[in-house]
Structure formats: structure tokens, C-alpha cells
Structure 1
Amino acid sequence: MNTSEFNSFIVILIYGSLVLLSLLKIANPLKVNRKANFCFGIFLFLWSTFWMDEVLFLITGSAIEFHSLFLVRFVQYLTPVFFYFSVLFYTNPSFTFRITDLKFLLFPAAFMMCLVLTGLGYTKPFEFLSIILIMVQALFYTVISYITIRKHQRKIQQFSSNTEGINLNWLEYIILVILVVNIIYVVYNLFYDPKSLNFFINAIFLVVIYCVGYYSLKQKEIYPLEEKQREELISIDDNPDSEEVKKKLISDEELVRIKTKLGNIMETRKPYLDSELNLIKLAEILSVSTHQLSYVINTGFQKNFFKYVNEFRVEYAQSLLKDLNSKLSILGIAYESGFNSKTSFNTTFKKITGQTPSEFKNRF
């Protein structure tokens, strides 16, 4: 099998994988992150159409200008838009569209106008403008999707003690990989024959698509399904230093009282050993609201919920690591201390202590 035949095989795998994955995301058999998975499924299907020309050529044996169709070109232009919508719904399942969100239609409206004018014979200026719009919109939605995910990663640390599985790291990495690949392709296209790069680009995209499939299908529900609890957590500010968080929710005396009670409960009842501990559970133990507890931790301890809880877990893990008679493995100690994986244990332990659990254990 030569390079051309192998590239054709990869193209078929890419197209088939994207179509199958899009159907799985839209059908959503696990019924999680419904709005996000629906938009992500549409994004995957639109993404698959970029390989349609090559697939049709392999089927018919002759070149078919699939991309030249007006409707197809416009629909493909919406690919980054649906990706961003999926990011919005992953990070905020309660998001609803308002009149102000009509701004999302500005780029598509401008692109459609370019397509119409190009079809009327104004080929050169508007064909060039449409290419510029494609590049600008792709970059715009890539940037705001990345910013939205980063903001989400800060927010979940305000209410979750274990962020692995809900931090959307996989989406962040995919954004960066696709951006880098596209930059390489554009630069190469300017100076060399882009066809010679097709095999390399398609091979990378195939790997990316399989990674997308693996991580997107195992993505669990990020927020509680119960609407009231979900709304409470979403409304918590992601920045503990913001003016809104600094506003007094309770008096100084009440702050000291809850802070003291929280410290006693953490020392005696050790709720941090529960790997599923979140702000809602801890607030119920203290008989306070989630906003009050978040305020106490942010203001009284100058920490977010994630750091506050995991410092207790690391301290507990250190006591187990120091025990020379313990037969627990590093993974066993991780689970015993409230962590839900060895990766999160190692990462958090090193971030707090400056060394890995193994390095700490070897000192004794």
C-alpha cells in the first residue's frame, strides 16, 4: 500500500469515525450533559463534511465539487459556532439564549452575504473576504472557547474537591492541538504544495478524533441534576478575589462561628475522606447555605474549596506515608485519603508539598 492509498484509508476512517461519533453524541444513550452533547454531536457531523470531497472521489472515481455548494459552504462555516455552544453548555447547562446572543449570528450573516455576492459574479473581492471571515471566526471561537474552559476550571474548584473528570481538560487540549495543526497547514500552504502535507495532517486528525471519542464518551455530568443545587453552584463566582465575593454575606461574628465549627468538623468527622465531597455536602453537614460556606472558606481561610479540602487530604496522606508499618501502596493511600485517582493524588500532593508522595515516603 503506497502513501496515497494509505491516505485514502485514513480519510475513510476519519469520515466514518466522525459520523458515528456524532450520532452517538446526539443520541446520548447515557443521558448526560444533554444540551452540550447535542451541540457537540452537530459540531462533529459538520466537521466530517470537510472530508466529504475526498470520500465522494473515492466512491465515484471522479472529482465532485461538494464544497462549492452554497448551502454546504454556509453550514460548514457554522462548525466552530457549534463547538463553542457545546463548550457553553458543558460549563453552564442552565445557559439560555437571549436577545444579546444574536451577536453569534454576525459572522454567519457576513459570510452568507459574501457567498451571495460571490455567486452574483463579484468573485475576487468577496471570495477573498470570505476566506478572511473563515479564519477570523475560527480564531475568535477558538480563543473564547479556551477562555470559557479556563474560567470553568477555576469555578469548579469553588465547589468540588475532586475536579478530575469534570475539568474539561480534554477539550482544552483538543483546541490547542487543532490550532497548532491548522497554523502549520496554513504556513505550509503559503510556501509549499499543501497536498504533500495531506497524509501528515490527516494522520494527526485521526488520532485527535479517536481521543475526542474516548474522552467525550466518558465525560460525566459536571453539575448536579437537581435544578436548585445546580443553579446554586453555577451562581458561585469563580474568582474568590472579586468584589462580589468580598461583599459581606454574613457578619464577622457569624463568620468566626462557622469558621470554628468547620474546623472542628474537619478535624473530628473527617468529611474530606469522602472522595465525592463537594460544597453542597459540606454545607449540609454545617447546616449553612452553599454561598455562606463558600464565603467562609474564601474570606476566612483565603482559599478556594478545592485547596481547603485537599490540604486536609494531603496532611492525612502524609501521616499514612510516615507509618513504616503500613502495608498500603501509594494508590491505596490515595484512596484512603479521599483522592479518586493516583494522578490527582500525585498532582495535588506535589502542588501542596513540593514533592511527590513517593519522594515524601522515601524520606522515612
Structure 2
Amino acid sequence: MQAWVIIYASAAAQAVLLALALWRRPANAAANRVLSAWTGLVGVDLAVKAVHLAAGDDRWSLAYAVVSLFPFLHASLFYVYVRALTTGSRLRMRDLVHFAGFALALVVAWPRLAGNAGWEGPGAWFTLFLFGYALAYVAAALVRIARFRQELRARRADADRQSLQWLGAMAFSQALIWCIAALREIAHIPFVDYHLIYGAVALWIFVIGWFSLAQPQVPAQPMTGAGHDAATPDESGVPPDRSRDEAEDDPRFPEVEVRLTRLMSGEQLYREPALTIGQLARRSGYPEYLVSVVINRRFGATFWDYVNRLRIDAMRDHLADPGETRTILDLAYACGFTSKSTFNAAFKRQLGETPSDYRRRHARDATKASAG
């Protein structure tokens, strides 16, 4: 028991320090304020658990009962954090609706909080509701992350930098904690108890600390689709819906296509690793919405796929050149890629083989040609 007290107390101290650091961190400031408040609540929860275990009596039973309802907050706070991260907007009054589950939990548990010793709890239905409520918010957050990644890939050539891997780690950690809790309710396996659950929460704090303090700046942008204001102008100053309609039969399509080809293939603008569609539009002299439509219709790709396709074409020339001595990774960086894994995946998806195999095959062909 003493070991759990030490684990909880250490994690609580880590959570408080992490909350203070996140509150002052300039990158993704709006989202990190949400994450700071969230980790602070987890710190309070773990601290109460540690004190309650150390006391060994009922002096902290009321506080223990209150923080036992905090799981209703964790998943919804994860969703609010993801929303703030991907849009750059602060916590709003309407976000309070996401804490309705916690409010309901307070109402249901009120007899216990009021000191009714004979209250036996709401029953199994309440636990099932808790699991379903939490997992629904985690799933909604993952859907928002996936949508954001798709929109980011359509606008930025260095979208691989914004992998948002720490969000996946956060979601996986939460799902693992909920699985432990569900296993405890269903199977009653030895050592799978509340101590293990909050031990996993303590570990989660260290995982969050590792990822959140190293997170890059996310290029937040308003989400399109549901919940997005169709009248919000894009970087070109034209509302998105109106832009698409007006571009249906735009007579400038051919000249925009020629201009983009000159910039991307002639001037090799694709080699700039942080190239965005807004930068390309400014260099071309045409509105961003028009550049986007031309890339989609004339080149048959999103901006991200279009740029990477040009990069792969350049890589093919380098790898097939027998006089090229640079490593594959150096060539990938020279062609504009910023991630080895993204480059390898894009290369194999486009050509059906790895860069190493492609280079070896052309080296063999060159050797046979010189021998013959």
C-alpha cells in the first residue's frame, strides 16, 4: 500500500509541475491552457488518492468520493483539448456542454456526497454509461484529428511534420486505462483493481509530460464541414463555398496550370520543405482557391500529393543516376521531404518498390548496359 502512496504522490507532483509549464508554453497556447487545467485536475485526483491511502481512515472519504467522479471529465477534456489545438480557439461558454456528464455524475452521486452512508450507488448501469460516455468522446476526438490531418495535407507540403503523434499516444493511454477499468468490472482478476487503474493514470501523466513539452507548433485552422462557418473567408479573401462555385468554369484554368508548372517543375519550388498552398498562390499571382481547384482538377491530386509526386519524380532521376553518390536520405531532404518515414511511404505508394530497391535495380541495369 505504501508503494501506491509514493507512486500517486510522485505523479501528483509531476502533474502540478507539468500544468505550470504548459500554462506558460507559447506553442499552441490556447490548447495548452486546456491541457494545463486537465493535468492539474489529474494532479488533484492523484494527491487525494495518496492522502486517503496514507491516512488509512475516513477523514478524506468525502474528497475521495468527489475525485472519483473525475473520470467523467477526462475524455471530454481530451476532446476540448483537440478542438482547441486544431482550431486555435480558446475555451468557450458553449464548451461547457461537454461537461454535462460530470454534472450528471454529481447529481447521481449526491446522496453519497451528502453523507448518506446507506446509499449503495447507482448500480451497473452507471458504470456502463461512464464507459460509453468516455469512449464516445475519445472516438470523437480521433475523428477530429483525422479530419484535421486530411485538411492539413491538402494545404501544406510539410504535413508530415504535423503528425500529431502525441495525440494518438494520449488516446491510446486513455483507452488502456478504460480497458483496465472494464476488466476489473467484468473479470475480477487479482491485482486488477483501483490501485492499478490509478497507477496507469500516474504513468499517463509522465507520458503526457514527455509528449506535450516536445510538441511542435500546430498550424491551427478552422475546420470545414460540420460546425464550420461557410461564410468564413480563406487566405484569398473569398468564402470557400463561393470560391468553388465560381471556379467551375474559370477561363484562367489553362494559364494557372502553365504558371504552376513553371514554378514547380521549372523553378523546382517543390524542394522547399515548408511550402504551403498559400505561398504557392502568392508566387503564382493567382488566388489560393483558384490554385487549389487547378491542382485538384488539372493535376488530379491534393496539394500535398501533388508536391510529393514532383519530389518523387526528382528522386527517381537522382537514384537512377550512377554518378550520384549522396545517400538516399540526403537526396530525400534535398528534394523537400522532412521525414524519412513519409518519404519511404510516398515513394513505395507511387512506384511500388522501396527507394533502395529502385536504386539497386537501376545500378544493375547500368552495369549490364556497360558490360554489353
Cα deviation for residue 346 of structure 1 reads 1.8
- Give the letter for the 1:217 counterpart: L
Q: Percent identity?
A: 21
- Give the letter for the 1:48 counterpart: G
Match of 2:171 in 1: 175
Match of 1:14 in 2: 11
Change (3 A) 1:82 1:198: closer
Change (3 A) 1:246 1:78: same
Larger Rg: 2
| Deviations 1:77-108, CA, capped at 9 Å, x for gaps | 32222221110011111467465x55424323
Matched, 1:44 2:39: yes
Change (3 A) 1:180 1:274: same
Cα contact 2:12–2:43 (8 A) shared by 1: yes
Match of 2:228 in 1: none
State the TM-score, normalizing by the size of structure 1.
0.82
C-alpha distance in 1 between matches for 2:283 and 2:37 = 42
Select 2:260's aligned residue among 259, 262, 265.
262
Cα contact 2:311–2:336 (8 A) shared by 1: yes
Match of 2:234 in 1: 232
Q: Which moved more, 1:185-194 or 1:140-149?
A: 185-194
Select 1:349's aligned residue among 347, 352, 357.
347
Cα contact 1:53–1:66 (8 A) shared by 2: no
Let me know the Cα RMSD of the aligned residues: 3.5
Cα contact 1:115–1:130 (8 A) shared by 2: no
Cα deviation for residue 254 of structure 1 reads 1.4
Q: Which moved more, 1:268-277 or 1:255-264?
A: 255-264
- Give the letter for the 1:38 counterpart: R
The DSSP-based 3-state class of the residue aligned with 1:39 is helix
Change (3 A) 1:324 1:166: same
Select 1:319's aligned residue among 306, 317, 320.
317
Cα deviation for residue 202 of structure 1 reads 6.3
Match of 1:82 in 2: 77
- Give the letter for the 2:339 counterpart: S
Cα deviation for residue 43 of structure 1 reads 1.5
| Deviations 1:123-177, CA, capped at 9 Å, x for gaps | 3464656534432321121111111111111110111111233231220233134
Cα deviation for residue 257 of structure 1 reads 2.0
| Deviations 1:170-208, CA, capped at 9 Å, x for gaps | 202331342134214412442224635678666765655
C-alpha distance in 2 between matches for 1:337 and 1:67 = 62
Structure-to-structure mapping, 1:1-364, within 5 angstroms: 9-28=6-25, 31-57=26-52, 60=55, 65=60, 68=63, 72-73=67-68, 77-94=72-89, 97=92, 101=95, 103-119=97-113, 121=116, 123-124=119-120, 126=122, 130-193=126-189, 195-196=191-192, 208-223=204-219, 232=234, 247-249=245-247, 251-363=249-361, 364=363
Change (3 A) 1:37 1:250: same
Cα contact 2:281–2:287 (8 A) shared by 1: yes
Change (3 A) 1:115 1:57: closer
C-alpha distance in 2 between matches for 1:144 and 1:251 = 37
Cα deviation for residue 111 of structure 1 reads 2.1
Gaps of 5+ in 2: 222-231, 364-372
Cα contact 1:166–1:219 (8 A) shared by 2: no
- Give the letter for the 1:33 counterpart: N
Cα contact 2:5–2:51 (8 A) shared by 1: no
Cα deviation for residue 352 of structure 1 reads 2.3
C-alpha distance in 1 between matches for 2:44 and 2:93 = 30
| Deviations 1:222-262, CA, capped at 9 Å, x for gaps | 2279xxxx973699999xxxx88863436342122212221
C-alpha distance in 1 between matches for 2:314 and 2:8 = 52
State the TM-score, normalizing by the size of structure 2.
0.80
